Amino acid sequence: MSQWVIKGLRTGIKSTRYPNVAETAAGVSPGFPAETNLGGALAESLVAGCPTRALGLGPQGVEVDRRRCVHCFRCIRGAKRPLDWESGYEWARIGADGAHRDHRLGRPFGRSVHILVVDAGDCGACLNEVKQLNNPYYNMHRLGFFLTPTPRHADVMLVVGAVTEHMRHALRKAYDAMPTPKRVVAAGACALCGGVFGPSFICGSGAAEVVPVDVEVPGNPPPPLAILHGLLVAVGRRPPANGAG
Ligand code: SF4
């Protein structure tokens, strides 16, 4: 034990300083394809090559629906004219069900927000990113976020996965069992729209079909800082990427 204390004192604090300081370390985010001023056959081939219909043609060129993007990089690698790319990780947006809500949970929740993670048919990717929030680098406890295994103690529900048919009822029951005030954060393309799986015989078009989603975190999977941003948006401690809330 004393060795760990000495090592800790020697090493110093290595946790990210986000959200007080923007994190610029390499590798914390894969980024996202950006709207690109491009037309003609090149643009059409990029749109046709996107496996999740995340790309479309608009007046400004190629448009990107982040909710659907699965980070396959087909619009970059091997493309004759790659799309522009954006770095960053503050991607969380207010969902349709959270549009008219004051997201501040109030002082009693300032340093103690309990999060129920629901695996609603996750492949393991988003769950793995959620798991990183508990490691010393992201250390979400410093922000007053704690995981809870029971909906009775949860203030925020964090949904990952495509919400398979078998999980629809369980997800709704868990939501109904949470006390108010409560928030729902959906993280990852599958939870937002079904991803590459939905809608199909196995799942629908995301968590919003079953529970009211306040905050949406795109990405496939979203990196830990993007999920952290989503949690901070859900409790009114960071502005969302779309500027509302
Ligand atoms: S990275 Fe893949 S899924 Fe995302 S916009 Fe490009 S082609 Fe589509």
**Per-residue pLDDT at 244:** 47
Regions of the chain short of the pLDDT cut 50: 244-245
The tokens for 212 are 């009211």
- Which pTM was predicted? 0.93
**Nearest CA residue ID for atom 3, ligand 1:** 69
Q: Which of 48, 64, 86 is the last residue of a domain?
A: 86
Domain holding 202: CATH number? Answer: 3.40.50.12280
- The pLDDT tens digits of the residues spanning 70-118 come to 999 999 998 889 999 999 999 999 988 776 666 666 666 778 999 999 9
55 lines ligand 1 (CB under 6 A): yes
Q: Which of 86, 109, 131 is the last residue of a domain?
A: 86
Q: Extract long-range pairs of 14-23: CB within 8 Å, 24+ residues apart.
A: 14/136, 14/137, 15/136, 15/137, 15/138, 15/139, 15/142, 16/137, 16/138, 16/139, 16/225, 18/225, 18/228, 19/143, 19/228, 19/229, 19/232, 19/237, 19/238, 23/89, 23/225
Structural domain boundaries, residue 184: 93-234
**Nearest CA residue ID for atom 7, ligand 1:** 50
Distances (CA, A) of 165 to 146, 149, 172, 208: 28, 22, 12, 14
**Per-residue pLDDT at 111:** 80
Distance CA 239, CA 245 (A): 7
Residue 161 lies in a domain: yes
**Nearest CA residue ID for atom 4, ligand 1:** 69
194 and 74 share a domain?
A: no
- The pLDDT tens digits of the residues spanning 173-193 come to 999 999 999 999 999 999 999
* Domains contained in the chain, number: 2
- Antiparallel, parallel or unpaired: β 93-94 and 61-64: unpaired
**Per-residue pLDDT at 110:** 72
